[in-house]
Amino acid sequence: MNEENKKIIHYLKTLKLNHIKLLACSQSGKKSVWVEKQHSHPYFEFIYFMNAKAQIDVPFGKLDLVPYDVVIYPPGVTHYEHPDLTYPQEIICIAAYIDTFDTFSNAFQFSDKDGTLGWLFEQSYQEYFKKEEGYESMIATYIKAIILHAIRSLQSNKLETSDILNTCVRFIHEHFHESLSMTQLTEISCVSESYISRLFQKNLGMSPMRYLNSVRIDISKKLLLDFSLSINEIAIKVGINDPLYFSRVFRKFTGISPTEFRNLLK
């Protein structure tokens, strides 16, 4: 475990997890969710990246966030979010006051290795949206679980099965616009093609290349909203240089062609 992680864990353990006051919980899928200037908050902010990507300026460097990542902003920590607008910017954000004896001067991130964090954030939003009896206490419990998962994630320095999958998924989301191959995934994960394929099939229900194409098609749907871009230009932007192949893949995932999809948007 590196020294920075030790400091973060020490700080998280100073939080009084029985003294959590919920402020808000929101889910968004649009650019306007981001405050595109340097700012800070007097409370904790937890953000889960469902289908979003952003680079964030923080006091001691930059954070690169991709789908299934979580970022935590402690009170008073300045940050400037630069969203990648080729992604739908689907996030869930929780704001809360938490008593602590200590302060921390930087934001930090960790990854959702098995879907548990995504579930915790989604349940938090559902509770906040419905506002049924005891919803604030329920969300406080979910926030406590998120923090405990953060500690576990930062304590772990082993490349476990979930870490291998997360490494490959992150690589795909960061390089979907390039010509990717299974060889590249084996190089970054240090395991065989067959092992990676089994991981994807078991955990995501599809092959790595199908997952890559699903990401490309999701991004292309967003780009099709920009009528100044041709179908060929969109295909290239998502890493497919053959427009005919792009149309076949698009139809396979959506049941219609890119042109038909765009016509529905008019």
- For residue 189, what pLDDT is reported? 82
What integer pLDDT is reported at residue 172 of this predicted model? 93
Predicted local distance difference test score (pLDDT) of residue 165: 86
Diameter over CA atoms, the chain: 60
pLDDT of residue 31: 57
Ordered by where they begin, the domains of the chain are 3-155 (2.60.120.280), 161-265 (1.10.10.60)
Stretches in the chain below the pLDDT threshold 50: 158-159
Given this model, what pLDDT does residue 85 score? 83
pLDDT per residue over 229-243, tens digit each?
A: 999 999 999 999 999
- Write down the pLDDT at residue 135: 97
> Quick one: 9 exposed, middle or buried, by C-beta within 10 A (0-12, 13-18, 19+)?
middle
d(CA 242, CA 249): 11
Contact yes or no for 64/55 (Cβ under 8 A): yes
Angle in degrees, CA 8, 11, 12, rounded to 5: 85
**Phi/psi of residue 112, each to 5°?**
-85, 100
User: CA nearest 65: which of 40, 78, 46?
Assistant: 46
Whole-number pLDDT of residue 12: 95
* pLDDT for position 161: 62
Buried b (16+ CB within 10 A) or exposed e, 143-173: bbbbbebbbebbeeeeeeebbbbbbbbbbbb
Q: Is 190 exposed, middle or buried (0-12, 13-18, 19+ CB in 10 A)?
A: exposed
Q: Residue 84: its pLDDT value, please?
A: 86
Measured CA to CA, the distance from residue 35 to residue 37 in angstroms comes to 6
Let me know: does 182 contact 150? Beta carbons within 8 Å: no
Cross-strand pairs, 39: 79
